[in-house]
Structure 1
Amino acid sequence: MATLIALALGAAAPISAARAADYPTRPVTVVVPYAPGGQTDAFARIMAEALRESLGQPVIVDNKPGAGTMIGSEYVARAAPDGYTILVATPGVVVAPFFTDRSKDVINRGGLKVASVAVEEVLYRHPAIREAAVVAIPHPALGEDVAACVVAREGATLDVEDLSAFCARSLADYARPRRWLVIDELPKNPMGKVLKKELRQRLAATAP
């Protein structure tokens, strides 16, 4: 299996096998908010070379001097919807993985941007989850909130409290799912793409 290494606060986290197969067909960009030649740039290029070897595909290092480390989620929200973007903030200390998604799947929770696929990556690490999809749902005060639709592995049982605690170990509070929908299968089109619009409709129909 081709392994893509994402680093967050200096800790390595291998991407789940369920999603790793998607990456060879998706562009990968490593964003550096500084000019070429510095320590952060050198670190990013070493990381990019490791990704090239793991993925067997080109990895672009995109220098954006002056952008600052706050480029993160805002950059991803504007990135190509089929891309995979990593922000290198400082060498070896913070390499923040931001996974791009279609703009409608970037959840705006009270002004804080949550890339749905980043939350899905965490859910796929849970041993009892076979499939997961994260979508936005309406919130009366925040505008949008985070909802997760999950499918259990054969013979496994999913407990919402356990899932919430699992997410709390890896996600910021604002990025954690507040609504859960446990279903038998994720709805997909003939090409295998998850139909998130249908999931949003199901969540709306079961809203408390």
Structure 2
Amino acid sequence: MVFNQGKPPSTEGCAVPTIGVLALQGDVREHVRALEAAGATARAVRRPAELEAVDALVIPGGESTTMWKLADSFELLEPLRLRIKNGMPAYGSCAGMIMLADRIEDGVPGQETVGGIDMTVRRNAFGRQVDSFEADLDFAGSPVRAVFIRAPWVESVGSGVDVLAATGDRIVAVRQGPLLATSFHPELTGDTRVHEYFVEMLREL
């Protein structure tokens, strides 16, 4: 796959996917801008009817416990689980990675996820806000600048999960079928390569 940093990929001859961004908390506008720059139509999702109207979903960063509770309050948690179980593509960044994990470590008592990716994720694994950092990574064969903010890491993955990026011995990006997750925030860098990868995933499914 060829990435064109700063330039939307050509959509000639391709259907333009409509990708929702879960708009309960986190970097919603930044993800919308990155998705549009990557050649998708993006819209905010807060209600079950809005979820039904999109081809795929981005779950942004934020605070995973708050996001879980808000999703439950907005009656989105079960519809999210059902759509992902039925094959809807989704991409989760930071807290979104936690939401897509089948198992979490260091969660609050009773914390739930949407699930879908056969992995165990450790919440706030890289430390507190003051421990935030940036790093250059090889993401699925392309160099990206990654921003880590109170980020999780992946403790373990099942046999069906592909590891797309790591920093040191810590897994920070994975894919399982139509589901993608990163520990870091590509929407904060101005580099749309991860979002382009996700849009291209949709076209290939």
TM-score in same-fold range (> 0.5): no
- Max radius of gyration: which structure? 1
Say which structure, 1 or 2, has more relative contact order (CA 8 Å, 6+ apart): 2
What TM-score comes out, normalization by structure 1 length?
0.27
What TM-score comes out, normalization by structure 2 length?
0.27
